[in-house]
A and B are shown apart, each in its own frame.
Chain A
Amino acid sequence: MGKNPVAPDKKREGGQRLPEPIRNGYGHGLLKAGREREEIVALDADLAGSTRSQWFGEEFPDRFYQMGISEQDMMVTAVGMASAGKHPFASTFAIFSERAFEQVRNSVARMDANVKIVGSHGGVLTGQDGSSAQCIEDLAVYRAIPNMTVLCPSDVVESEAATLALAEYEGPAYMRTTRRKTPIHHDEDTTFEIGEGEILREGEDVALVGTGSMTGRAMQAAERLEAKGVSALVANMPTIKPIDRDLVAEISQRTGHVVTCEDHNVIGALGSAVAEALAETRPAKMARVGIDDHFGRSGTPDKLYEAFGLTPDHIVEEAERLVGNRVRA
């Protein structure tokens, strides 16, 4: 073992940060938070290399708990540690965290434990491993649990900031990360406020609301729409719960059309949260781009995104459909 193998350096070219997987932000953030806060401990269920909790484990072996392939045990062990003053971060693949759903519900959330759960490899972006590993419902199931906060950052810079925010936050939370390199649309000094969305691009005709890996695609869609004479606002919603109702109302008021974009079942997560907020604040025509209530399959992430309609082109189509409706009306 080298002296300090820990996290790889953040790659830059011409001062610009190069794309990295969103999961890396968890690794960077946990390490940074761990250096500042002694009470932080990390647990993983035999996927520490993949979730990036290993970077923390290499620097803080005494505060890292390899739990083996035992997700249910891991979640409740974390609660016991929290009860004795620790601040545990428990990570595994998003899908395997769901194996401990009832433990998360009854032990983590019901006891309002200061436990953070990080599910990597969210969405069909996971690709070739196939449907058993492609978690498309995590945000919905955790969102439905009282006391839970649910995050889904959109690039590596944001996921690092979100991890630091979680380290300061007292209470149970779930954060989804993903595996594949994702374009960066945040400055490196960005900070993260739980519960707040942000406008990444101004526009007037339609609002594209993205979360996680789909925020970058919403940005691409906005460029294509501009070329077609449609002015699209892009909002990033890294907190699924509590949803930023004020921002939803604001973008609805300003554009009158909302398209949500998520690598998740269209039931229960971003699309639903935004629809609920819209219905109760400023109703607007909306469309939900996401997985249309079916499981995934093996294939490259690009192929799957194309097959399931998670592309900039499909976002453009949906936006044009909404805006066209307005014009005809």
Chain B
Amino acid sequence: MASVSLAQARRELDDDQLEQMARRVRRDVLKMTHLAGSGHPGGSFSMTELLVTLYTRFLDVDPDDPDDPERDRFILSKGHCCPGHYALLARMGFFDRDELWNLRRFDSFLQGHEDLKVPGCDVSTGSLGQGLSYANGCALAADQDERDFHTWVMLGDGEVQEGQVWEAAMTAAHRKLDNLTAIVDYNKIQIDGFVNDVKGVEPLAAKWRAFGWHVIEIDGHDLSDIESAYNEALDTEGKPTLILAHTVKGKGVSFMENKAEFHGRALSEEEMEQALQELGEEVA
């Protein structure tokens, strides 16, 4: 089974290879959204290292059996950032990478927001604020039957302005869901501007702590930070873990970094060229 060995190979990446994988994912995201003429590169880039580390070193999933009931779950609650997830899933062998260039097209399964139609996706999101509740449901079901899969969920920072996130935060803490880890991609920017101008969410770590969560604050682009936080989350007992990952929106391409503009716009031909140059290699 070729893709199993491919998946295994992906699991043995050293840091350099992992960073290379992150660059490849970013390049694919740029090309995907450029070809589609729309999509969300900025928030895909801020979570790239978080996602690549999760899939290559932690998440127990199998591209040959993507619906295995005992697989770990990954819930992309910030569903608009699916290009980053799709690009990684293709690299992991969940589907043919050529499909990426059909993002957002009528005859493709690659929907404009995270969708169950995509092999390897556990959820259909796109409306913010719902993924943590869904993840709680997965974790509660596992808990009830003493199944040992772990559920991971990625939220955006603007997303925590949704009240449902805090309903779900209470549920996870009340139920002591230590088989659940939430990550907030704290890139500080939402569509209309800086989060703290639109509607401030600080003190964010203190809020989650007050809601009964074990909170770890990290640099969301630092591989060793990420790896140790994920290990700590898995070792934490009696409460759910929230990883507050400080990140940079548009990370990896100088003119995209920290710009709200690139939340939801694809690059022009010219911008693409410069961006790909900055990211190093040719798109394979």
Contacts and interface: CB of A to CB of B under 8 A. Distances in A.
A68 to B, nearest CB: 7
Nearest to B126: A106
A73 interface: yes
B137 A77 contact: yes
A75 B73 CA distance: 19
Interface stretch (B25-33, B95-103, B167-175, B239-247): B167-175
Contacts of B174: 68
A79 B134 contact: yes
Contacts, number: 97
Of A77, A103, A106, A111, the most chain B CB neighbours within 10 A belong to A77
Given A72-B133, A102-B127, A77 B170 contact: no
A111 B141 contact: no
B135 interface: yes
Interface string A76-87: 111111111110
Given A80-B141, A84-B69, A86-B141, A107 B167 contact: no
Given A73-B171, A77-B168, A106 B130 contact: yes
Nearest to B79: A106
Contacts of B159: none
A66 B214 CA distance: 23
Given A83-B122, A103-B130, A111-B124, A76 B137 contact: yes
Contacts of B133: 72-77, 79-80, 103, 107
A110 interface: yes
Q: How large is the interface on A (under 10, 10 to 19, 20 to 34, 35 or more residues)?
A: 20 to 34
Interface string A92-135: 00000000001100110011000000000000000000000000
Contact of A73 (B69, B144, B167): B167
Contact of A81 (B127, B129, B141): B141
A80 B137 contact: yes
Contacts of A80: 75, 133-141
Contacts of B134: 76-77, 79-80, 83, 107
Q: How large is the interface on B (under 10, 10 to 19, 20 to 34, 35 or more residues)?
A: 20 to 34
Nearest to A80: B137
B170 A84 contact: no
B123 interface: yes
A81 B137 contact: yes
A147 to B, nearest CB: 12
B163 interface: yes
A63 B164 CA distance: 23
B116 interface: yes
A83 B74 CA distance: 12
A65 interface: yes
The 10 tightest CB contacts between A and B, nearest first, are A80-B137, A84-B141, A76-B133, A73-B167, A70-B167, A80-B134, A81-B137, A77-B137, A72-B164, A80-B138
Given A77-B134, A80-B75, 5 more contacts: A80-B133, A80-B141, A84-B69, A106-B127, A111-B124
Interface of B: 69, 73, 75, 116, 122-124, 126-127, 129-130, 133-142, 144, 147, 163-164, 167-168, 170-171, 174
24 contacts: A65-B140, A68-B167, A68-B170, A68-B171, A68-B174, A70-B164, A72-B167, A73-B136, A75-B133, A79-B137, A80-B134, A80-B135, A82-B137, A83-B123, A83-B134, A84-B73, A84-B142, A86-B137, A88-B137, A106-B124, A106-B126, A106-B127, A107-B134, A111-B124
